[in-house]
Amino acid sequence: MSRLTGKTAVITGGATGIGLASAKRFISEGAFVFIFGRRQDQLDAALATLGPNARAIQGSISSLSDLDRLYAAVKSERGTLDIVFANAGVGSQLKLGSITVEHIDEILDVNVKGTIFTVQKALPLMGPGGSIILTGSSAGTTGAPAFSLYGASKAAVRNLALTWGEDLKGTGIRVNVLSPACTATELAKAALGEEGMKVFAELNLLKRMADPEEVGAVAAFLASGDSSFMTASEVAVDGGLAQI
């Protein structure tokens, strides 16, 4: 398919997992992709698989100067930007009673502040037909044990899309949320182990974890003109977890 031919995309958290799977899908559909992430070794490994239509910029979405470098690189090489996939995020299991100020600062700094400035700093490069995709989570809708802080941050992301849909009226730029449940990324496999993966797989109606490529396919849909009449919406890619 060539739904994204000629389009320029930025994917934060693009070196691994859902971000990398989405980058591969975007490129296969014709896009030029900038991936952004914190670890240079992971970015280098990702670039080796993505080919000539990708660039990598090292940095953190919690750093405004890093985001400035990212968008300066996009402007210098491509001039404009069509797609922003604000995918980078952090989270961990934290039961009530064990949450510290440091935990709050880290998770909200990345998942909320970082998402806000990832999008806000991209806007001067975007125009009519632009698509903004925010990574939410089923945890932003459900009450997931030990995920209150992470879930609250993802609920905030959902509300950002609702409000930004209003703020972007008349610009031709759309904003939507892609909300996966637990996905079989490298990080999830390392954190959960084989037994933990089985437990999480049983929580949804399809009784398995999502593959990153399945989530990337939905990201490509939201990035493309096939979703041209969608904005301020949430698309659940969660095996029905948050729907029951």
pLDDT tens for residues 133-168?
999 999 898 888 888 999 999 999 999 999 999 999
Does residue 72 register a pLDDT over 80? yes
Catalytic sites, residue numbers: 150, 154
| CATH code of residue 83 | 3.40.50.720
Average pLDDT over all residues of the chain: 95
Burial class (CB in 10 A: 0-12, 13-18, 19+), 190: exposed
Q: How many domains does the chain have?
A: 1
Q: Which structure tokens are listed for 155? A: 């609920």
Is the residue at 149 inside a domain? yes
Is the residue at 141 inside a domain? yes
Average pLDDT (226-244) is 95
Alpha carbon 158 to chain centroid distance?
A: 12
Is the residue at 244 inside a domain? no
**Parent domain of 180:** 8-236
Is the residue at 177 inside a domain? yes
Question: pLDDT band at 102, cuts 50/70/90?
Answer: very high
If you write DSSP's letter for every residue of the chain in order, what string do you get? --TTTT-EEEEET-SSHHHHHHHHHHHHTT-EEEEEES-HHHHHHHHHHH-TTEEEEE--TT-HHHHHHHHHHHHHHHS---EEEE-------B-TTS--HHHHHHHHIIIIIIHHHHHHTTGGG--TT-EEEEE--GGGTS--TTBHHHHHHHHHHHHHHHHHHHHTTTTT-EEEEEEE-SB--HHHHHHHHHHHHHHHHTTSTT-SPBPHHHHHHHHHHHHSGGGTT--S-EEEESTTGGG-
Average pLDDT (76-87) is 98
pLDDT for residue 89: 94
Is the residue at 242 inside a domain? no
pLDDT for residue 33: 98
Is the residue at 101 inside a domain? yes
Question: pLDDT band at 202, cuts 50/70/90?
Answer: very high
Exposure string of 142-158, with b = 16+ CB inside 10 Å and e = fewer, is bebeebbbbbbbbebbb
pLDDT for residue 190: 79
Is the residue at 39 inside a domain? yes
Strands lying side by side in the sheet with 8-12? 54-58, 32-37, 8-12, 83-86, 131-135, 174-180, 234-237
Is the residue at 127 inside a domain? yes
Question: pLDDT band at 193, cuts 50/70/90?
Answer: confident
Closest of 49, 56, 16, 18 to residue 34, by C-alpha:
56
